[in-house]
C-alpha cells in the first residue's frame, strides 16, 4: 500500500514538473539525509516532550472530572452544560487567548494539547462509569462501601476499557494539536520545522517533515495498541479475543 502510494506520487509529481511538488524519490532522499541529524531529532524530541506533558495533564483532568460526573447525577447536571460548551470549542480557537495569557512558549502549547486531549477522555470516562450495572451499585450500597472505595474498586476498573479507548483517540488529537500550537508559538518542534522549511522554499525538506509526522503518528498508535492489549488482557479475554 505504501509503495503504491509512493509510486503514484512519483509519477504525478514527475508529470507536474513543478518545484512546489517534488517527486517522492527526492523527498525520500532528503528524509534519509535529515532524519538522523541532531538538529532534526532535537525538533522531534521537543514535540514529543510537549505531547507527553499535554497528554498526561489533559488525560488526568478528563479522568478526574469524568469520574465525578459519572458517579454523581448532581455533578453531571451541574457540569454538563459547561463541558458541552467547552467541548464544542475548537482547540485552535483558544490559541489567541492562550497567547495573551501564557505567551508564546511551551506553556501555551501544552495548554492547547491538554484542552483538546481532555474531552474525549472525559466523555469516555463518564460513559464507562455509567455502564456499571445497577446490581453492582446496589450491592456496594448494601455493603456500605465508601465513595472512594467504590471509585477505585468498582467504577474505575469497569470504566477502564472505555477510558483507554478515549485515550487512544486523544493521542491522535494531541499530535495534531502539537503541530498547530507550534505553528503559532515560538521555539522549535516539528510544526515549527515544517513551517520554517516552507518559508525557505525548501519543499523537499518540508514534505519530509510532514512524512515523518505521519510515520510518528502511526508508530505511536502501534505502541499504544500494544500497551492496550497488555493492560486490558483481562478485558479482551472476557470478550473472547486473544491478547496479542
Query: What average pLDDT does this structure show over 120-134?
Result: 87
pLDDT band at 224 (very low <50, low <70, confident <90, very high): very high
Q: Does residue 131 contact residue 156 with C-beta atoms inside 8 Å?
A: no
User: What per-residue confidence (pLDDT) applies to 206?
Assistant: 92
Dig out the grid coordinates for 204 from the structure.
523537499
**Terminal alpha carbon distance of the chain:** 24
Q: Does residue 159 contact residue 132 with C-beta atoms inside 8 Å?
A: yes
Q: Does residue 18 contact residue 80 with C-beta atoms inside 8 Å?
A: no
The better pLDDT of the pair 111, 72 is held by 111
On the question of pLDDT at 101 being above 80, the answer is yes
Structural domains of the chain, ranges and CATH numbers in brackets: 47-238 (1.10.3720.10)
The CB-based long-range contact list for 88-94 (8 Å cut-off, 24+ gap) reads: 91/115, 91/116, 91/177, 91/180, 92/180
On the question of pLDDT at 114 being above 80, the answer is yes
pLDDT band at 172 (very low <50, low <70, confident <90, very high): very high
- Enter the pTM of the model: 0.86
Query: What average pLDDT does this structure show over 105-129?
Result: 92
Dig out the grid coordinates for 47 from the structure.
514535540
Query: What average pLDDT does this structure show over 98-113?
Result: 89
Highest mean pLDDT among 40-54, 92-106, 151-165: 40-54
Dig out the grid coordinates for 100 from the structure.
495573551
Q: What is the pLDDT of residues 18-71, one digit of tens each?
A: 767 788 888 889 889 899 999 899 999 999 999 999 999 999 999 999 999 988
On the question of pLDDT at 232 being above 60, the answer is yes
The better pLDDT of the pair 9, 202 is held by 202
User: What per-residue confidence (pLDDT) applies to 243?
Assistant: 43
Amino acid at each position: 500500500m505504501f509503495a503504491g502510494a509512493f509510486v503514484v506520487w512519483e509519477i504525478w509529481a514527475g508529470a507536474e514538473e513543478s518545484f512546489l511538488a517534488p517527486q517522492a524519490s527526492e523527498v525520500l532522499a532528503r528524509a534519509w539525509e535529515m532524519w538522523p541529524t541532531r538538529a532534526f531529532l532535537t525538533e522531534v524530541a521537543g514535540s514529543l516532550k510537549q505531547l507527553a506533558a499535554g497528554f498526561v495533564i489533559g488525560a488526568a483532568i478528563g479522568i478526574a472530572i469524568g469520574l465525578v460526573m459519572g458517579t454523581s447525577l448532581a455533578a453531571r447536571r451541574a457540569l454538563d452544560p459547561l463541558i458541552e460548551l467547552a467541548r464544542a470549542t475548537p482547540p485552535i480557537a483558544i490559541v489567541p487567548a492562550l497567547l495573551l495569557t501564557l505567551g508564546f512558549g511551551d506553556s501555551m502549547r501544552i495548554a492547547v494539547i491538554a484542552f483538546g486531549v481532555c474531552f474525549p477522555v472525559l466523555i469516555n470516562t463518564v460513559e464507562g462509569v455509567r455502564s456499571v450495572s445497577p446490581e453492582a451499585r446496589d450491592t456496594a450500597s448494601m455493603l456500605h462501601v465508601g465513595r472512594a472505595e467504590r471509585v477505585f474498586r468498582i467504577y474505575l476498573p469497569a470504566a477502564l476499557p472505555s477510558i483507554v479507548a478515549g485515550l487512544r483517540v486523544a493521542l491522535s488529537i494531541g499530535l495534531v494539536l502539537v503541530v498547530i500550537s507550534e505553528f503559532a508559538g515560538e521555539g522549535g518542534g516539528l510544526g515549527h520545522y515544517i513551517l520554517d522549511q516552507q518559508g525557505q522554499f525548501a519543499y523537499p525538506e518540508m514534505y519530509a517533515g510532514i512524512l515523518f509526522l505521519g510515520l510518528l503518528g502511526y508508530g505511536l498508535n502501534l505502541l499504544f495498541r500494544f500497551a492496550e492489549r497488555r493492560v486490558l488482557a483481562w478485558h479482551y479475554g472476557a470478550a473472547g479475543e486473544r491478547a496479542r
